[in-house]
Copies of this chain bind each other. A is one copy, B any other.
Amino acid sequence: MPKITTRARRALTEERRKQILAAAAQVFAAKGFERATIADIARHAGVAEGSIYNYFKNKDDLLISIPRQIVTPPIETVTARLQLLATETAEPEQLLLTIATAFTTVFRQNADVFRILLSALPTLKPAAREKYMRQVVSYAIGALETYLAQQIQCGVFRRDANPQHLARFLVGMFFPYIMLHDILQVEFDADWDYEQIIPEAVTLFLRGALAA
């Protein structure tokens, strides 16, 4: 009996924690970290203000708990898919298109969270900042780096290329679009879409821009 009760209680606790964190992410994304209030978050989560402090040490703790609980899962999903793809598909073009599509999709679906990170990270202490960016970056680019390193060794890509740099270059090509369109939600630069951009970028990445 006590075992089940304890287990059930733990599950409930974990559930409540996620519920609060999801509310926090939502409110942070909408108002920015500093303008979001604990009262806001409590209202969105359907709990009392004081209850939040049973699950999180303080407001900062809410913020730095978001990546682990909310950012990490979707990135891990993508990463897993990429590792699978890398072993199956022979054609680099096809694989990079898939990677790029998955990558931009994750960013776009979680633009709210990245907006939070952007607005709040500068105010965090350097150590915490580095810890969380390291998580995000390695999750996001790790699999791509590994794949590119393999392909360089196989001779598919130029032998003198640096796989870490290649990975960043490829991913970076989408940054201007993601930043403006999805994170900052600026709309003046709008006569394009990702389905058109992604093949162009991948082609440029593989073949270069020169004519001949």
For chain A, give the interface size range.
35 or more
| Complex copy number for this chain | 4
A209 CB contact (under 8 Å) in B130, B133, B187, B205: B205
Per the bound structure, the CA–CA distance linking A183 and B180 in Å amounts to 16
User: Does more than half of chain A's interface fall in helix, strand or loop, or is it mixed?
Assistant: helix
Q: B208 to A204, Cβ gap below 8 A?
A: yes
Interface residues of A in 101-121 (CB under 8 A from B): 115, 118-121
Per the bound structure, the CA–CA distance linking A133 and B31 in Å amounts to 19
The interface bits of chain A over 33-64 (1 if a CB of B lies within 8 angstroms of the residue's CB, else 0) are: 11100000000000000000000000000000
Instruction: Using known A-B contacts A158-B211, A176-B168, A211-B155, determine if residue A186 contacts B32 with beta carbons closer than 8 Å.
Output: no
Chain B binder among A8-16, A17-25, A79-87, A159-167: A159-167
CB-CB under 8 A from A204, the residues of chain B are 161, 166, 169, 205, 208
Per the bound structure, the CA–CA distance linking A164 and B200 in Å amounts to 12
- A142 in contact (CB, < 8 A): no
Per the bound structure, the CA–CA distance linking A200 and B205 in Å amounts to 12
Q: Which 5 A-B pairs have the closest CB atoms?
A: A208-B208, A34-B34, A175-B175, A207-B208, A32-B123
